C-alpha cells in the first residue's frame, strides 16, 4: 500500500511531522510532546489526556465531526477524570469511543497524530508560545502547498491545450457535417474528447464524474504530469488520423496502444521528475 506523503515543519528547533488523512491534516502529537520531554513524549500525551478539560474538548470535537462517536463510553471516561487512578492512553480513547480525531500506530509513520484542531489544543497545553509558532509554520506550509498546486494546475492545463487548436481544426474539417446545431457540434467535440479520455484513462468524463462525485474539477484536472504529456501527444496523433480518414474505432485502438507505450516510457523517468521540480520552482502564473 502506498504510504501517505508526509511533510515536516520546524518549530522552535523541533521537527513536527504532518500527514494527510483524507482531506484533513494530522499533526504528530509525539513530536510536539518531545518539545516538553524528549525522552518520554508518551507520558506527556497521557498526562494531557488525564485532564477533564482535555476529555471534554475531545468529546465536543468528536460529536461535531464523528457520527460514529460512542457517547456512552465517553460519559464513562468523563466521570473518571480527576481520580488519582485515572489513566487514559490514545489507543484506549480510540478503541472505547470510536474517536477519529486522534490516531495512534506503530511502524514507519508510527506515533500519535491528531487532527490539527486537536493538535493546536495540545500544543497550547505544552506551551502557549510553542502553539503560536506551530500555527505560524503550519499556515506557511499550507500557503506553499497551495501555491505549488496552483502552479502545477496552470502548467498541466497549458500543456494539455498545446495541441488543442490543431485537434479542433481537424474535427471541424473532417467530422462536422454542414448546418449543424450548436448542441450537435458540442456533442461531436465532447465525443472526440472522450475518445482521448478512453484511450488514456479508460473512462469517459461522465463516468469519471459519477465515480468521483466529491472531487472538484474534471477528469483531466486530476491527471498526473505524465498523463498530460501523453494527452497532448494523443491530440496531435488523433488530428493526423482524422485527416487520414481513419475510422473512429480504429483510432481508439491506435491511440490506446500509443498511450500504453508512452506511459511506460514516462513513468519513473528522471527527466519528468526534473521537469516537475523545475515547474514547482517557478513563480506563480498571473491571471490576465
- Confidence label for 265 from pLDDT (cuts 50, 70 and 90): confident
First-to-last alpha carbon distance for the chain, in angstroms, is 42
Q: What is the rounded average pLDDT for all residues in the chain?
A: 82
Residue 108 has pLDDT above 70, yes or no: no
Region 236-258: what's the mean pLDDT?
A: 89
The reported pLDDT for the residue numbered 285 is 43
Q: What percent of the chain has pLDDT over 70?
A: 75
Using one digit for the tens of pLDDT, what is the confidence trace for 125-139?
999 999 999 999 999
How many other CB atoms are found less than 10 A from the CB of residue 51?
15
The per-residue pLDDT for range 36-53, each reduced to its tens digit, is: 999 999 999 999 999 999
Q: How far is 264 from 137, CA to CA, in rounded Å?
A: 39
What is the DSSP track for 9-26?
EEETTEEEEEEEETTEEE
With 90 as the cut, is the pLDDT of residue 164 above it? no
- pLDDT of 282 higher than 60: no
Per the DSSP assignment, residues forming a β-bridge with 19 are 26
- Of residues 148 and 1, more confidence is placed in 148
- In the predicted structure, residue 4 carries a pLDDT above the cut 60: no
Q: Determine the average pLDDT of the residues in 28-40.
A: 94
Whether 69 shows a pLDDT value over 90: the answer reads yes
**How high is the pLDDT of residue 286?**
43
The predicted-structure confidence for 168-182, as pLDDT tens digits, reads as follows 666 656 544 455 566
Give the pLDDT confidence score for residue 28 in this predicted structure: 95
What are the DSSP calls for 134-192, one per residue?
A: HHHHHHHHHHHHHHHHHHHHHHHHHHHTTTHHHHHHHHHHHT--SS--HHHHHHHHHHH
- Decide if 160 contacts 227 (C-beta within 8 A): no
- Work out whether the CA dihedral 51, 56, 59, 61 comes out positive or negative: negative
Q: Regarding predicted confidence, which is higher, 122 or 224?
A: 122
Question: What's the pLDDT at 110?
Answer: 77
Q: Flag whether pLDDT at 157 surpasses 90.
A: no
Domain positions in the chain are: 7-139, 161-281
**Report field, pTM of the whole predicted structure over 0.85:** no
User: From the DSSP assignment, how many helices (H) and strands (E) are in the chain?
Assistant: 13, 5
Query: Helices 164-174 and 182-201 sit at what angle, rounded to 10 degrees?
Result: 120
pLDDT computed for residue 222 by the predictor: 87
Amino acid at each position: 500500500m502506498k504510504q501517505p506523503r508526509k511533510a515536516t515543519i520546524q518549530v522552535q528547533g523541533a521537527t513536527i511531522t504532518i500527514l494527510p488523512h483524507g482531506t484533513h491534516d494530522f499533526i504528530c502529537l509525539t513530536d510536539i510532546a518531545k518539545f516538553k520531554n524528549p525522552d518520554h513524549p508518551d507520558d506527556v500525551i497521557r498526562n494531557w489526556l488525564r485532564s477533564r478539560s482535555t476529555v471534554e474538548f475531545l468529546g465536543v470535537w468528536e460529536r461535531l465531526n464523528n457520527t460514529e462517536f460512542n457517547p456512552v463510553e465517553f460519559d464513562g471516561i468523563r466521570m473518571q477524570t480527576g481520580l488519582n487512578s485515572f489513566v487514559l492512553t490514545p489507543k484506549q480513547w480510540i478503541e472505547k469511543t470510536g474517536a477519529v480525531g486522534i490516531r495512534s500506530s506503530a511502524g514507519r509513520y508510527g506515533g500519535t497524530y491528531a487532527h490539527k484542531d486537536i493538535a493546536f489544543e495540545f500544543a497550547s497545553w505544552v506551551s502557549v508560545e510553542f502553539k503560536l509558532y506551530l500555527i505560524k509554520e503550519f499556515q506557511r506550509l499550507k500557503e506553499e502547498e497551495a501555491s505549488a498546486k496552483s502552479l502545477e494546475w496552470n502548467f498541466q492545463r497549458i500543456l494539455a491545450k498545446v495541441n488543442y487548436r490543431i485537434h479542433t481544426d481537424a474535427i471541424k474539417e473532417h467530422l462536422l457535417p454542414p448546418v449543424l446545431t450548436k448542441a450537435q457540434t458540442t456533442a461531436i467535440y465532447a465525443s472526440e474528447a472522450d475518445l482521448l479520455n478512453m484511450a488514456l484513462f479508460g473512462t469517459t468524463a461522465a463516468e469519471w464524474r459519477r465515480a468521483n462525485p466529491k472531487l472538484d474539477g474534471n477528469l483531466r484536472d486530476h491527471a498526473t504530469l505524465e498523463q498530460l504529456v501523453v494527452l497532448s501527444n494523443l491530440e496531435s496523433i488523433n488530428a493526423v488520423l482524422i485527416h487520414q480518414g481513419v475510422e473512429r474505432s480504429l483510432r481508439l485502438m491506435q491511440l490506446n496502444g500509443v498511450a500504453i507505450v508512452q506511459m511506460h516510457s514516462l513513468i519513473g523517468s528522471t527527466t519528468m521528475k526534473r521537469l516537475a521540480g523545475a515547474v514547482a520552482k517557478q513563480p506563480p502564473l498571473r491571471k490576465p
